[in-house]
A = this chain, B = another copy of it.
Amino acid sequence: MSAPIYLGVIGVGGVGTAFLQQLARLPNAPKLILLARSSQTLLSPTPSYSPAIPATDYQTASSTPSLTKSGALSPEEIASFLSSAPGRSILIDNTSDPKLAASYPVFLRKGISIVTPNKKGFSSDLSLWKDIFSSAAQGNALVYHESTVGAGLPVISTLRDLVNTGDEVTRIEGVFSGTLSFLFNTFAPVSGASGAKWSEVVSQAKELGYTEPDPRDDLNGMDVARKLTILARIAGLEVQAPDSFPIESLIPTELASLPSTSEGTATFMQRLPEFDAQMAEIKESAEKEGKVVRYVGSIDVGKKEVRVGLQKFDKDSAIAGLKGSDNIISFYTRRYGSNPLIVQGAGAGGDVTAMGVSADLIKVVQRLQ
């Protein structure tokens, strides 16, 4: 009934692979005509844009006969390929590449919609944010990025619904990092029973794959700061950059100058125990007030304040009671009054992040049809 819609997908890592599995099972899925990993690209041959690429892992897809194979293409080349397809097209960016994100306006102005869990486009300089949304309007294209905050949890969509229907969001607060949630739920549980040292908890999380390969990428708070930047902008604050507000880093000052190499990471992990007493003191000072310490982000819309860092919480609070690596996000608004609207659950992981991407894709397809 409707004209076919064409799809390009970049990135076949954890999220990208989970997304392809979900795409393969979507009814009325758009036609996959471009699939790219870092140095290689699969394309449906022009001018027919047929056959479509099967939604499987890259290796299997690449064995499909009669697909065009190429090295890495520039964003301009990809945009040109997609916009020449005989119908509306959508680009899914399943990378965390800042360069690709900086090119979203190129795609959008050509009428190519964007769906992505990549935070970079929405949390870097404010000028890029503005360029993305004005380019989308200009190209009559759509931008959906639910999975940039809280993975598949309905965070962005809920905030947009609040704003679009005229509610006044006064405050947003929560635990926005699955990694830091796990670290503090383990280090300072509500039961108070953990005797684990901070450095041990970090090591354990690293071994379990709960942290980035370099745990400093979690501990520096920048991932949380990027998420807060996105939410603050949707709530109406003109946050210039993800580091234009206070961010409490959990990397000790003494270790801040270690290089971002694997040797740097090794030295960091080796020297982290020197700071266990410091973290124990923070934990115990909260304990004395009957509280627990958590790493949170908060946005006070009225005061135009964004903060990321450690905070003490009553043991019976929702934030204190969080389990595993769950996120929790509380929206305080005029309509909801003193009890916030709360969304809680796993905020990281390939499957749930891909779910946010797939759900966005379905909505974009529905709007383009």
Contact A336 B318 (CB under 8 A): no
The chain B residue with its CB closest to the CB of A324 is B339
Contact B344 A166 (CB under 8 A): no
- One of B165, B167, B321, B345 near A340 (C-beta < 8 A): B345
Question: Shortest CB–CB separation between residue A284 and chain B, in angstroms?
Answer: 22
Oligomer copy total: 2
Question: Shortest CB–CB separation between residue A88 and chain B, in angstroms?
Answer: 14
- One of B165, B326, B351, B358 near A355 (C-beta < 8 A): B165
Contact A341 B153 (CB under 8 A): yes
Determine the chain B residues whose CB is within 8 A of the CB of A341 once the complex forms. Answer: 152-153, 343-346
The verdict on A240 contacting chain B, using a C-beta distance below 8 Å, is: no
B-contacting residues, A350-365, CB 8 Å:
351-352, 355, 358-359, 362
The verdict on A323 contacting chain B, using a C-beta distance below 8 Å, is: yes
B-contacting residues, A305-361, CB 8 Å:
316, 318, 321, 323-324, 326, 335-346, 351-352, 355, 358-359
**Contact stretch, chosen from A154-162, A242-250, A269-277:** A154-162
The verdict on A261 contacting chain B, using a C-beta distance below 8 Å, is: no
- One of B166, B351, B359 near A26 (C-beta < 8 A): B166
Question: Shortest CB–CB separation between residue A291 and chain B, in angstroms?
Answer: 15
Contact B166 A25 (CB under 8 A): yes
The verdict on A39 contacting chain B, using a C-beta distance below 8 Å, is: no
Contact B340 A164 (CB under 8 A): no
Asked if A337 meets B342 with Cβ closer than 8 Å, knowing A161-B154, A355-B161, the reply is no
Contact A326 B352 (CB under 8 A): no
The verdict on A303 contacting chain B, using a C-beta distance below 8 Å, is: no
Chain A interface extent, by class: 35 or more
The verdict on A366 contacting chain B, using a C-beta distance below 8 Å, is: yes
Question: Shortest CB–CB separation between residue A9 and chain B, in angstroms?
Answer: 15
Asked if A336 meets B352 with Cβ closer than 8 Å, knowing A165-B359, A341-B346, A344-B341, the reply is yes
Determine the chain B residues whose CB is within 8 A of the CB of A166 once the complex forms. Answer: 22, 25-26, 358
Mask, A137-152, CB within 8 Å of B = 1, is 0000000000000001
The chain B residue with its CB closest to the CB of A341 is B345
Mask, A288-316, CB within 8 Å of B = 1, is 00000000000000000000000000001
Measured between alpha carbons, how far is A339 from B22 in the docked complex, in Å? 21
Measured between alpha carbons, how far is A340 from B152 in the docked complex, in Å? 12
20 contacts between A and B (CB under 8 A): A25-B166, A26-B164, A152-B335, A153-B341, A154-B158, A154-B161, A154-B343, A157-B157, A165-B355, A167-B355, A318-B318, A318-B321, A323-B339, A335-B351, A335-B355, A341-B344, A342-B343, A343-B344, A344-B344, A367-B367
Interface residues in chain A, defined as those with a beta carbon under 8 Å from any beta carbon in chain B: 22, 25-26, 152-154, 157-158, 161-162, 164-167, 190, 316, 318, 321, 323-324, 326, 335-346, 351-352, 355, 358-359, 362, 366-367
